[in-house]
Structure 1
Amino acid sequence: MIYEFIEQSILSSVNILNGSSSWLIISFLLAGTLKNLVSPEKFQKMLGNKKFSSILKSIFSSLLLPVCSCGTFPLAISMYYSGAYLGPTLAFLTANPVMNPIAIILCYGLLGPKLTVIYIITGLTLAIIVGIVANNFSGSEVCLDNSFDGQGAFELEEDKPSVIQKIKRGINWAFTDLAMVVSKYVVLGMVLAGFILTIAQDNSIQKILGDPSMISLGGVAILAGIMYVCAVGHIPFIAALIATGVAPGVAITFLMAGAATNLPELLSLYKIIGKKAVLIYFSIITGGSLIGGYVANMILLPNFKPVMDFDKVNHSVNTANKFIITFPHWMKVICTIGIVVLGVIAIWKDLRIKYLNHKMKVEK
């Protein structure tokens, strides 16, 4: 029984990693490419301040980066490392799953225009609130001291690297620094998510979500935290539940809270930035998702009719599929192995440093 549980947990963790690892690798490459192409001075001017305009810039930049929500976190951390304040960083992290063009197309076709508008307004509102609160109440976590970054942030004028050199240095930084930091917490978070998902059993969760008599927005927020929610991938799932009679506000709460209560993301955010960042992000998005779901129910009920016109649904899915990048299984496996290897190396280095520090204390 125990061995079966462990085996199922490992399989769940691997499945979660397979679904996100390709996007993580792409995000590392993108973060590394952008890092040195945009000078620290320009980045500081754009997002390294507490101006409201900086929050708006980070929010609407997500329209230009239609990556899966699981790949958003490395990009957000890269922004923070490059000089962005915590407000724009968390605003980007909140808005990207909502502003993703693929998500908007699927929402419009599968959930209808009214729910789509409420979803977008909720996401944008919460992103703005998160950004403002983070900029003003996060203390020392509001920005990172960039003096640690030795990857050419302070180039001599006579030694200006070419564009190719900048990209190479950025990608080297992405996989020797950023990926190491992110991967170890992602791997640990995925393992934890796999165990929780095995305990809860995905089928049981879907049965509860599909039973209107058992559903509540608070319960949805909790269940969304248990499941590993992809803002794009779970839109068809939640649309099917709405079609069975579940209240429309469930869609808002489930999709918004699911992104905020992602265990690997929260664990990484806590370890890389700090507890205030997690508290601000988690509390505002989770609480806001409940309010958004409640408002959606007030506006749309009792005369809400699910959008399940199959011609319209198929058209929207086909349109969205034109933008969705699907990765072959072999690529997912290779990327998963890469993320695990990076995570294991990072954990091993941490343990080795702790061992050497302990050894030095004993010798003294």
Structure 2
Amino acid sequence: MIIFEFLKSMLLASISMLNGAAPWLIFSFIIAGLLHDVVSPRRFHKSLGNKKLSSLLKVTISGMFLPICSCGTIPLGLSMYYSGAYLGPVLAFMTSTPIINPIAVILSYGLLGKEITIIYLIVGFTLPMFIGIIANKFGGNELKLSGIEEHIATVNLETEDDITTLDKIKSGMIWAYNDLALVVSKYVILGMLLGGFIITAFPNSFIQKYLGNPSMLSLGNVALLATVMYVCAVGHIPFIAALVASGASPGAAITFLMAGAATNFPELISIYNVIGKRAAIMYGSLVAGSSLFVGYITNKLLIPDFKPAINFNSINNSIEGANKLIFAAPEPLKYLCSAIVFIFFLKGFIPKLKDKFQKAYG
């Protein structure tokens, strides 16, 4: 009975996380499909298929203005990689997009205060650039998609002028439906189940108790926990504000702000399986390590004079301002999008399951 209740709670937690991410996933599938053939691989490769700082700057700034969670960046980031972008710009985009956006800044200022928000803004810009530089330097054979130059050369031989924009859109959407969505959904569902297990095994009350007491949980543990948890692009900020109000250090707050938003199991699993092991390890370790370092520096700068910024006027004003920018999907739409992602998961997972079954018993 206890096991049944645990599994039920884990499943409900996984569904809740999927409902929060699914609308953004579907939106990202559509955008990735539209961009796949409309923006030719040749142009995409020319713009982002290099190690220039200007390429990292472009994707970092564009990502900072998109209020999409880390799961929502998976289709867009992988689409960039498939279209010829180097690993540096891809990981820079997948870092900047979930870590910081205008809505998160408003909430952070009202709930966490000016000092943490300034550090948050600085890190939200510099961390993606740093990760992009490291990825471009040490990406190895994962620096770019294998065979991308040959593919672009083949595309260049075709007469693009004979292909209408509508045909390009149709071709991109077919690719998103038959390829990208199947791959991403498969790993997102598996990652959500792992995230549901963590939330069920370590509920919010447990996490808050130990995160709220820096002497019992080091910044390293905060970074590790935040790296594997799933949080949405803005929903984690009130949780962090509660931790700070209950005694957590400002360093723990900034560590969780960075690692919690930028990484989660679905994202790490997708990067591992689609791009490669080196990219996944590099991304996860750089985010966790950098968030730990910045948390330590934050504590050195702000303690012992730091005081929580919680007050009802700032809370009300920040939430009111953020709500004007937040797109809150209706519950029926969330469930519909979750169902679509799950169908993609089944479509991508069942054929492989059949193949393994046939090999074992055929």
TM-score, normalised relative to structure 1:
0.92
- Name which of structure 1's ranges 65-74 and 136-145 shifts more when overlaid on structure 2: 65-74
Residue type matched to 2:230 in 1?
Answer: Y
- The CA distance in 2 between the partners of 1:134 and 1:226, in whole Å, is 20
Q: Deviations over 1:66-85 (max 9, x none)?
A: 32333112111111111100
Give the Å deviation of 1:170: 1.5
- The CA distance in 2 between the partners of 1:158 and 1:119, in whole Å, is 44
Residue type matched to 1:303 in 2?
Answer: D
After superposition, residues 240-251 of structure 1 pair within 5 angstroms as 240-251=242-253
- Name which of structure 1's ranges 220-229 and 295-304 shifts more when overlaid on structure 2: 220-229
Q: Deviations over 1:142-193 (max 9, x none)?
A: 001337979x955732753332332222222112111111000111111122
- The CA distance in 2 between the partners of 1:40 and 1:336, in whole Å, is 30
Counterpart for residue 88 of structure 2: 87
Residue type matched to 1:11 in 2?
Answer: L
Counterpart for residue 9 of structure 1: 10
Question: Is residue 65 of structure 1 aligned with residue 29 of structure 2?
Answer: no
Counterpart for residue 23 of structure 1: 24
Give the Å deviation of 1:233: 0.7
Q: 1:207 to 1:153 in 2, by over 3 A?
A: farther
- 5+ residue gaps in structure 2? none
- Name which of structure 1's ranges 336-345 and 96-105 shifts more when overlaid on structure 2: 96-105
Give the Å deviation of 1:107: 1.5
Counterpart for residue 39 of structure 1: 40
Contact 1:180 1:343 in 2 (8 A): yes
TM-score, normalised relative to structure 2:
0.92
Q: 1:142 to 1:158 in 2, by over 3 A?
A: closer
Identity level (%): 52
Contact 1:260 1:281 in 2 (8 A): no
Q: Helix, strand or coil: the match of 1:325?
A: coil
Contact 1:221 1:257 in 2 (8 A): yes
Give the Å deviation of 1:330: 0.7
Q: How many residues align?
A: 359
Equivalent of residue 193 in structure 2, options 191, 194, 199? 191
After superposition, residues 67-146 of structure 1 pair within 5 angstroms as 67-144=68-145, 145-146=147-148
Residue type matched to 1:239 in 2?
Answer: A
Counterpart for residue 336 of structure 2: 334
Q: Helix, strand or coil: the match of 2:324?
A: helix
Give the Å deviation of 1:278: 0.9
Question: Is residue 174 of structure 1 aligned with residue 164 of structure 2?
Answer: no
Counterpart for residue 223 of structure 2: 221
Contact 2:192 2:266 in 1 (8 A): yes
Q: 1:51 to 1:354 in 2, by over 3 A?
A: farther
- Name which of structure 1's ranges 134-143 and 99-108 shifts more when overlaid on structure 2: 99-108
Q: 1:254 to 1:110 in 2, by over 3 A?
A: same
Residue type matched to 2:274 in 1?
Answer: I
- 5+ residue gaps in structure 1? none
Alignment RMSD (CA, Å): 2.3
Give the Å deviation of 1:322: 1.0
- Name which of structure 1's ranges 266-275 and 190-199 shifts more when overlaid on structure 2: 190-199
Contact 2:191 2:265 in 1 (8 A): yes
Q: Deviations over 1:194-222 (max 9, x none)?
A: 12221222321122223455343122123
- The CA distance in 1 between the partners of 2:335 and 2:40, in whole Å, is 35
Residue type matched to 1:293 in 2?
Answer: G
Q: 1:55 to 1:158 in 2, by over 3 A?
A: closer
Equivalent of residue 350 in structure 2, options 348, 351, 356? 348
- The CA distance in 1 between the partners of 2:321 and 2:240, in whole Å, is 19
